[in-house]
Chains A and B, each alone.
Chain A
Amino acid sequence: MREGLFRNVSGCAISGIFSKSGRRFSGQKIIESISVMRERSNGLGGGFAAYGIYPEYKDYYAFHIFYDNHHAKKECEEFIERHFDIINLSKIPTRRIPEIRDVPLIWRYFVAPLPTKLADSQLDDREYVARCVFRINTRIEGAYVFSSGKNMGVFKAVGFPEDVGRFYRLEEYEGYCFTAHGRYPTNTPGWWGGAHPFALLDYSVVHNGEISSYDANRRAFEMYGYKCTLKTDTEVITYIIDYLHRKVGLTLKEICSVIAAPFWSTIERKPEQEREELEYLRCAFDSYLITGPFSIIVGFEGGMMALNDRLKLRSMVVGEKDDMVYVASEEAAIRVVQNDLDRIWYPRGGEGVIVTLEGGNA
C-alpha cells in the first residue's frame, strides 16, 4: 500500500544546523550529524531541508516534484505553465548508488505566479502558491510537489538519511541552515513522498514522535482549505504551523504556547499579563494543541525552531558554538560535527528554541 492510504506511525532521528550570521556551509556537515543516529532509522526514509541554497533564484518559488511517470510530468507541467512563469527547470542532480532504488523522476522548477492569474485569484502570492501545490498533490495522479519555498529545498527518499544525502549530492549545496530526518516507520511507505522533511512554502518540518491528537488537529485545519494527503504526523504539524503563522498571524513563540501549551496549573502560577495571554491562546486555539510525544525542528525563511511536546517524551538537545546552533535527537549527533561547544542544554517540554538570522526577524 502506498503512503497516504493508511496512517504510518514512525520513530525517528532529527538534526538541524543553523548559522545565525548567515554564513553558508556545505551539506556535508548535516550528513555527518544524522549518520551517527543510524540506529534510530530503519532505512525506510531519510531527507533534508536546506535553506539559502538558491541565492541566484531567491525571488522565485522552487518546486521540487516527484513524478511516477512521464504522463504525470506532462500533465503537471501543463498545470504549472497555466499558473506560473517558469524561470528555469531541470532534473535534480543525483548520484546513482545501490542503496537508493525505485527512483522516481525528480524535477525542479523555479517559478513565479502569473501576474494576471494571481490578480484574478484575489489571493496573496503565498496563498496562491500553496493552493496550486494542493491542487497538484490532490488532483494530478503520480505528481507530488514535496518542496515549494523560496531559496530553500527539500531532498528526500526511501533509504537511510546518509545514503539519501549522497544520492542528492547534498555536499555540493551551501546554505545557512540544514535540517535532517532519519525515519523508522512501522510500515513500508511504498513511495518517496512519505519521507521527511515535510514542507509547504518555506516551512519545513522534521519530526520524531507520534502525536495522539492527530485527528483533532487535522479536522480543525481542514476547515481552512488544507488537505492531508500523506496521513503522517509531520504533515499535520506543518499545516498547523503554516496556518497559525501565515494565516492567523501568531508569532512562533505564541505558536509554541498553542501546540505545546503549558498546563493550566503552570499557567495559573504565571504573572498576570503572561497568564492572560497563555489562557487566551489555549482557549482561542484549543484544537491545535498537540499531544503525544514529539520533538520537531521547523525550518523557515531566515530561521529555525526546535520544540518538544509538553511532557518532553522525546529526546532533544541543543548546542551553541559562536554563531552556530545545533539541534539533534542525541548529543552525539552534535558532538560529531562540533565537539567544542560554548553551551549545550536540553530544552524543557514546550520550551521552543527559536533562532533567526542576525538582523532578521521571525
Chain B
Amino acid sequence: MPIEYIYPDYEIVRDYDRCIVCRVCERQCANEAHEYLSDLNKMTADNAKCVNCHRCVSLCPTRALKIVKSDHTFKENANWTGKSIKEIYKQASTGGVLLSSMGNPENYPIYFDRILLNASQVTNPSIDPLREPMETRVYLGAKPDRIERDENGKLKNNLKPHIKLSMPVMFSAMSYGSLSYNAHESLARAAAELGILYNTGEGGLHEDLYKYGGNTIVQVASGRFGVHKKYLNSAAAIEIKMGQGAKPGIGGHLPGTKIVGDISKTRMIPEGTDAISPAPHHDIYSIEDLRQLVYSLKEATAYTKPVIVKIAAVHNVAAIASGIARSGADIIAIDGFRGGTGAAPTRIRDHVGIPIELALASVDKRLRDEGIRNNVSLVVGGSIRSSADVVKAVALGADAVYIGTAALIALGCHLCRSCHTGKCNWGIATQREDLVKRLNPNIGYKRLVNLMTAWQHEIKEMMGGMGINSIEALKGNRLMLRGVGLNEKELEILGIKHAGE
C-alpha cells in the first residue's frame, strides 16, 4: 500500500566528480545500500537502506560520499511530528512493538550539562598534575564498620572483599552475543592494561577470555545464561543484574539467529534458540529474596568477591538502594534512563526511568541520611559521555562510573542506533563473521586505552584546578558543583547551589 512508503530519513550524497567507482562502499555496506550499475559503470544508492552508520563515508578513498538528513517533510506540526506519524504507519502495517537500539535520544534535560565545576583562585592553590602527584585510584566495596586490633595493638585488616581501580571508570555490562567476540576481547584487554574492570553482561564468559578474570565482572541476570561455578570464580566481582536503564522493568531477548557457535556454547543454550531473559528474576520477588541470591553467590565464591547489584534508575530508586545496601551487596550500580542497549522496545526506552544525575544525588543522600553509605560503593552509568561527566558524577557522590556507549564509540560505533538489526558495519554489534573481522582487537583495545588515558589526564586537570589531589576528596564533594538554569527543586534534589550563590 502506498501509505507505507516513507521517504528515507537520510540521503546518500555522492560527488560523481570524485567517485572512482572502486565499489568499496558497496562491499562495506551490510545493508546493501550501494549498488554498482555495470551498464553505466556508475555507483548508485538506495537511501531507504541507509542507517547512517558512516561506514562508506569513512572508507571512501576519494571522499566522494556524505550522508545528509533528508529535507523531505510533512506539513509542520508541533504536536504530530514526522517521527510520530512514521511510527504509526510502521505499526499500522506490522502490528508490532517498535524496537530501538542505544540510549534514549529524546529531548529530556541533561543535568550534567547544567552543572559547572569549581576552581581555586587566590585562597587555595590549584595543583598542577604535571608537577605534583595526582591520584585517581579507587577501591570499591563495603567499608568496615569498626576497627579491630590484635593483641599488640596493631590494626587488623578487616576490609571486606573489594575491587581496586586505577581510575573511577569501568566498562559496563555488554554481553558476548550482543557484542562481537572482537569487541569483547578489546574491552577485556583494555581493562587489563588500564587496571580497571569490564563486565561480561548476561552472555557468559568466552573461554579464551578467562585469563582476564582479574579485570572482569561477571554478570548473573534473570536468564542465568552462562552461569556456573568456574565462571563466578574466575572474576574480580559478580554483578546481579536486576534492571537496565534502557529498559527498566523488562527482560531481554537475543534472537536465535545470533545464538550460533561459541555464543551458544558460552550461554549454555542450544544453537538457534532464542535467549530470553525474563523481566524479573523468578527467584527474586522481593528484597529478602535478593539477599538470598547475594549470599548464594558469596557462598559459591567463598566470600572472596564483592557482589554488585545493578538496578535501573526508577522513581523510587533511593528507597530501593537503601534496601539493597542492607542486603549484603557490596556495590550498587545504578543505570540511568539514557543508558544504552542492543535492543529495547522504543516506548520503554524513551519513556521509562529517570535521569542518572537525580537518581545518584538522591540515593547518595538517602544512604547518608540512614548512616549506611559506607555499607556500599555506588557506581553509575547511563550516560557518562566525557571526563567532565565522570568528575561531576563523583562530586555528586559516585565512587565510580560505568561507560558503555562511550567505549563502543571508541571502538568505531557511529551511533546509528541499528544494533538490533545485527548488521553492524563496524563489527561491534554483530555476529556476522565478515563484519566481526572488521574490528581488529589489537587496534580496538588500544583505542580504549587511549580514551581512558585521555580521560584520566582530564580528570586530573579538573581535580588539580579544584585543589584536590586525590579522587576520594572529590567523592560527594558537592560544594565543587554549581547549577545553571535549574529550578529550586532540581537544585534541592541534586544537593547543589546555583551558580552565583
Contacts and interface: CB of A to CB of B under 8 A. Distances in A.
Interface in A97-154: none
Interface in B426-455: none
Contact of A219 (B132, B470, B476): B476
A7 B479 CA distance: 10
A286 to B, nearest CB: 4
Contacts of B135: 263-264
A291 interface: yes
B473 interface: yes
Contact of A283 (B127, B159, B371, B480): B159
A81 interface: no
Contact of B474 (A11, A210, A216, A276): A216
Nearest to B127: A311
B133 A265 contact: yes
In this complex, the interface size class of chain B, counting residues with CB under 8 Å from chain A, is 35 or more
Nearest to B137: A264
A215 B480 contact: yes
Interface in A24-58: none
Contacts of A216: 472-477
Contacts of A254: 155
A282 B157 CA distance: 12
Q: For chain B, what secondary structure do more than half of its interface residues adopt (helix, strand, loop), or is it mixed?
A: loop
Contact of B124 (A287, A290, A292): A292
Nearest to A283: B139
Contact of B147 (A250, A290, A292): A250
Contacts, number: 104
Contacts of B472: 216, 282, 286-287, 289
Contacts of B368: 219, 222-223
A212 B159 contact: no
Interface string B130-162: 001101010100011011000000110101001
Contact of A280 (B155, B371, B470, B473): B155
B297 to A, nearest CB: 23
Given A219-B368, A284-B144, A210 B155 contact: no
Contacts of B479: 7, 214-215
B469 interface: yes
B189 interface: no
Given A220-B476, A284-B144, A291-B473, A212 B468 contact: yes
A9 interface: yes
In this complex, the interface size class of chain A, counting residues with CB under 8 Å from chain B, is 35 or more
B316 interface: no
A319 B466 CA distance: 33
Nearest to A217: B473
A276 B479 CA distance: 32
Interface in A244-265: 248-250, 254, 261, 263-265
B477 A215 contact: yes
Given A215-B479, A215-B480, A276 B473 contact: no
Contact of B139 (A209, A263, A286, A310): A286
Nearest to A288: B472
A288 to B, nearest CB: 9
Interface in B451-495: 466-470, 472-480
Nearest to A250: B147
B241 interface: no
A313 B125 CA distance: 8
Interface string A2-17: 0000010111000000
A310 B475 contact: no
B117 to A, nearest CB: 12
A319 to B, nearest CB: 26
Interface of A: 7, 9-11, 186, 209-210, 212-217, 219-220, 222-224, 248-250, 254, 261, 263-265, 276-277, 280-287, 289-293, 310-311, 313
Given A7-B479, A11-B123, 18 more contacts: A9-B123, A9-B124, A212-B120, A215-B478, A215-B480, A216-B473, A216-B475, A216-B476, A216-B477, A219-B476, A250-B147, A254-B155, A280-B155, A283-B139, A284-B144, A284-B147, A287-B476, A289-B473
Interface of B: 120, 123-125, 127, 132-133, 135, 137, 139, 143-144, 146-147, 154-155, 157, 159, 162, 368, 371, 373-374, 397, 466-470, 472-480
16 contacts: A212-B466, A212-B468, A212-B480, A214-B479, A215-B478, A217-B473, A264-B135, A264-B137, A265-B133, A276-B157, A280-B157, A283-B139, A284-B144, A284-B159, A286-B472, A313-B125
